[in-house]
Amino acid sequence: MPENVEAAKLAAAALAIGLGALGPGIGIGLLAGKAMEAIGRNPEAAGVVQTNMILALAFCEAIGIYALVVALIIKFV
């Protein structure tokens, strides 16, 4: 019985980080692509676009870190 519990914990941790990293990965890709389009259309606004892009990237990365923390909690607790 304990082997089944450990296997379920490992599977849950893998799903947590796998699915938890999927959203931020897609979000970062879309965000960077749209920012490059915006800078290409209006190079004078590159500073403002870049600042806002970096802020949004930080929020996306935070979501990925939350998923990592949840996966580690599932695995080790």
DSSP string, 10-54: HHHHHHHHHHHHHHHHHHHHHHHHHHHHHHHH-GGGHHHHHHHHH
Tell me: pLDDT of 2 over 80.
no
Distance from C-alpha of 15 to C-alpha of 75, rounded to nearest angstrom: 11
CATH for 2-76 is 1.20.20.10
For the chain, domain boundaries: 2-76
* Confidence tier at 1 by pLDDT (50, 70, 90): low
pLDDT tens column, 7-49: 999 999 999 999 999 999 999 999 999 999 999 999 999 999 9
